[in-house]
Amino acid sequence: MEHRINRTPTPATAGFAFQLQETTPLEGGMLIAEDDAGSYLPIGPVSTIAEAREIAQDDLRLREHELDLGGSPFCPAVYRVWARGLKSFAVAAELDLVGL
């Protein structure tokens, strides 16, 4: 007797073979800050989306502190996590400032 289990497949993250979770190891992960004008600033390598979120929170706090002291830091509108995907590098996650 053959048993069949109907499973709804989890949709893959665009550009990747599977859906990325907060703790999915990223190959070549990089956190990038982008401003409203489209300029970008590499923040540093990350191994997971969760790590990227922590680093983005810290980076944003430092930039806000510099702004409070009268400086003119790069002001990100969004943080994006890039990683090696199916064919090339792709956005693994977008971390907007509200979510940080």
Interval 50-92: pLDDT, tens: 999 999 999 999 999 999 999 999 999 999 999 999 999 999 9
Lowest-pLDDT choice from 8-12, 18-22, 50-54, 78-82: 8-12
Rounded Cα gap, residues 96 and 91, in angstroms: 13
Alpha helices in 1-100 (DSSP H): 49-68
Rounded Cα gap, residues 51 and 34, in angstroms: 18
